Structure 1
Amino acid sequence: MLINSFKLFINKIISFTGYKISRLKYIHSSEINLINSINFFRIKSIIDVGANEGQFILRLLKQNFKGNVISFEPIAKAYEKLLINAEKNKQKISWYVAEKCGLGAKDFSNDIFISQHSESSSLLRILPKHTNLKPLSKTISAERINIKKLDNFYDYIKKLDRNIFLKIDTQGYELEVLKGAERTLELIAALVVEVSLVKLYEKQPDWLDIINFLKERNFVIWSVERVMGDVNTGETYQLDIIFVKDNYLVNS
């Protein structure tokens, strides 16, 4: 009773801002939606591609994720912090950081363009559409990195506990990562991929190419989250799309 009275009192105060406290089950939270999807898929292992400093896994740890993780990150400075974060959390989960490398459709070496906001760094050159909205995403340096196929790590991945969840956040390079993961995708129950509805990087593939690529490999869309957009115009720039393998849904 006291809690309800307090809630009514707070609602009266904040109603002037246009908000109110609610426990309605249809109120949406992207963070909760992600962990609820992972729990629903009974995920035991995560492949974290484009890990940066490990922010994605750290978010899941706050939501009490328990399982195995293998992370990939090519930028030296971010990679060092990723190793530290994995070490700090070794008592909570089995978190393996793979060798420092980027992932793509083939094995080669190339420059990665490092943004001031390092999570916006990419193997593709960033476009003004991105930097005009987020000035800290501008390129400040470049670093030579090795790029490998995810399938090169297939023998390790197939030993992971099922079900396996794949996360790809590589700033316009997602389709290339998928092309280098044909065998690995056979092991994947679900995945989340960041896609751009507008061109934010040079030579970035159309977002429909990613959807069609996964559709041809029996993945269907499970959930969509808005990641970035222009609040002044209402235009959406990027989405996080969760896909699930259709035969997994049949067998769930």
Structure 2
Amino acid sequence: MATLRRRLLGLLTKFNVNVHDLGPGAVVLERRGDYRVSRSGKRSWAVTRGAAGSAGTSAAVREPVPLGPGATLSVARDLPPASELALHKKAQEYLGARHIASILRHYRVNCVFDVGANIGQYGQQLRAHGYRGRIVSFEPVAAVADKLRRVTEDDPDWWVRPFALGREDRTDSINVVHGSMSSMLGPTEFGNTRYKRFRRTRTQEIILRRLDGLLDEALAGIADPRPYLKLDTQGFDLEAYAGAGERIREFVGMQSEVALMQIYEGMPRMDEAIRTYEADGFEITGMYPVTREESTGRVLEFDCVMVRADALPAQG
């Protein structure tokens, strides 16, 4: 039978069919000629499409990297620099999202305050990783908040609040920038050089509210509230945090973008931000790069995930 099998496969090649023999009882057939089949594990193969060498990965040798029980990563052995950085970014984003999801489960979080929500990327990520509790998203830019409402309209436990958080209740102007970079602060010289979009900034009047004045409404109807605070305000995180006052101690965990390179004027650096959070009892569980300068490899900002260890619920 083995001889007959080889003959049949050999016959197919005469009809311009490419044969990738995986072993007894398994074969991949294709006629395009730009598919590659490589082993990615003891019992698994990766099928990729594209001309040899395109994006640096199609013809690359892949190797399985065991990550633990039930998890294996298939990685091309040699990648060009741009592809290598893209791999790191995607891997860090995925691991960061999984880490946050596990923290929410472990600390039994039932309300997430999503401050600086943009069009709901963070909330959608939470839902994709299994979080089903309440989300309260804050987005002050009117046009962006409208898009966010459309994203959340079929999710009754995902609320949208069209204002920013700050140290005091007031009206102010925000610098509206394309994408997710609108900020209460203006850009630094470094920020202007790195991000051309700052050249097309406009201002919009918005409302700022203190977080401690919003907690009761946001947590209404939740038995034994266990809130978590996510801050992504483009340099304004400490101002939004300050508005929680003494009620920050009700939060079992939090995360904040902490900066190594200042994109905005007056943006606190990482050491100042972490000292502030640690002074209130939060401790670091993970640090994940948000943006990196490709030419030098420098990290501009980390997503810093923290918990209050004494808030860990009794297990059982």
The verdict on a shared fold, with TM-score over 0.5 as the criterion, is yes
Determine the C-alpha separation between the residues in 2 that align with 1:43 and 1:198: 32
Distance in structure 1 (CA, Å) of the matches to 2:112 and 2:134: 6
Instruction: Give the structure 1 partner of residue 176 of structure 2.
Output: 114
- 1:56 maps to 122
- Look up the SS of the partner of 1:240 in the other structure: strand
DSSP 3-state at the match of 1:242: strand
Aligned counterpart in structure 1 of residue 257 of structure 2, from 179, 191, 194: 194
Quickly say closer, same or farther: Cα 1:197–1:18, change in 2 above 3 A. farther
Aligned-partner Cα distance in 2 for 1:42–1:221 = 18
1:162-205 deviation per Cα after TM superposition (whole angstroms, max 9, x unaligned)? 32111110000000011111233121101111111111101112
2:67 equivalent among 7, 15, 24: 24
- Counterpart pick for 1:208 among 243, 252, 271: 271
Please tell me whether the aligned partners of residues 157 and 184 of structure 1 are also in contact (alpha carbons under 8 angstroms): no
Q: Paired residue for 1:144? A: 205
The structure-2 alpha-carbon separation of the partners of 1:155 and 1:134, relative to structure 1 and needing over 3 Å to count, comes to same
Residue type of the alignment partner of 2:305:
I
Match in the other structure for 1:129: 190
* 1:9/1:109 CA distance change after superposition, 3 Å: closer
Quote the Cα distance in structure 1 between the aligned partners of 2:140 and 2:169. Answer: 13
* Structure 1 residue 9, shift from structure 2 partner: 5.8
Q: Which residue of 1 aligns with 2:12?
A: none
Aligned-pair identity in percent equals 24
1:40 CA drift (Å): 2.1
What TM-score, normalized to structure 1?
A: 0.87
Higher relative contact order (CA 8 A, sep 6+): 1
Comparing 130-139 and 53-62, the one that deviates more: 130-139
Q: Secondary structure at the match of 2:193?
A: helix
CA contact (8 A) 2:186 2:264 kept: yes
After superposition, the C-alpha distances for 1:53-98 in whole angstroms (9 at most, x for unaligned) are: 11110111122221111111110001111111111333xxx11222
Aligned partner of 2:160 among 84, 93, 97: 97
Distance change >3 Å, CA 245–CA 234, structure 1 → 2: same
Shift of 1:39: 2.0
Supply the distance in 1 between the matched residues of 2:294 and 2:117 (Cα, whole angstroms). Answer: 27
Choose 1 or 2 for highest CA Rg.
2
Residue 7 (1) aligns with residue 50 (2):
no
Partner of 1:43: 109
Give the secondary-structure state (helix, strand or coil) at the position aligned to 1:125.
coil
Could you say what secondary structure the match of 2:271 adopts?
A: helix
Q: Please report how far the alpha carbon of residue 6 of structure 1 lies from its aligned counterpart in structure 2 after TM superposition.
A: 6.1
Q: Which residue of the other structure, out of 123, 135, 154, is the alignment partner of 1:88?
A: 154
Rounded to whole Å, the distance in 2 between the matches of 1:228 and 1:87 is 30
Residue ranges of structure 1 left out of the alignment (5+ in a row) = none
TM-score (norm 2): 0.70
2:291 aligned partner, one-letter code: M
1:241 to 300, 304, 311: 304
Aligned positions, number: 246
Aligned to 1:76: 142
My pick for the range that moved more, 206-215 or 2-11, is 2-11
